[in-house]
Amino acid sequence: MRRQIQVFARVALLSLVLMFVSCEPSSKEEYISMFNEFVTEIEEKHQEFGDSKWSIQKEKYDKLSKEWYYKFKDELSSSEKFSIKKLQAEFLYYYNMHKAGSMINDAIDAIQETDIKKEINDAINKSDLEKEINDVAKELGDLTEEGGELLEGIIEKANDATQEILKAAEDAMK
């Protein structure tokens, strides 16, 4: 069911693109108006676009900025040509910001993944790690030998103290 919805959404989106592309402007005024509306939509909704939507928008832009521009180029005044160039620059600003953001996110993901892998490899491959473990084990062994005698002394004193307390308690009860 979910797959069917995705296919339907893609077909609908493709239909809209084809409709847009096939709706060729018949006058320079219509062309300028279409380009203005297109860029206005980009300005308002650019943050909602994912990669696939940007791909479709880029196709629309190419049609507006190349094919249709050359169709009406000779009819456009200098002022209108300047307006078209401004619209092109605005679209490219948002498009390139999206591309840059995607590249930055991909780079951050790659860096984080690389850093984590490097840390794991460093920890696993660290040549001193085994030596450090052996040194700690040896030190623990040494402490156990020295500490064993110390621990026996502490236990004896605790037993003696407990015996004295018990004797004092018995004497107090008599």
Q: Are residues 10 and 44 in the same domain?
A: yes
Which residues have CB under 8 Å from 33's CB, separation 6+? 25
Q: Are residues 86 and 151 in the same domain?
A: no
Domain interval for residue 92: 2-125
Among residues 58, 64, 55, 57, the alpha carbon closest in space to that of 84 is found at: 64
Q: Are residues 117 and 134 in the same domain?
A: no
User: What average pLDDT does range 26-53 have in this prediction?
Assistant: 95
Residue-wise pLDDT for 131-152, tens only, equals 555 555 565 555 555 555 655 6
Q: Are residues 19 and 46 in the same domain?
A: yes
Residue 67 clears pLDDT 80, i.e. is over it: yes
H, E, C per residue of 72-85: HHHHCCHHHHHHHH
pTM for this model (two decimals): 0.54
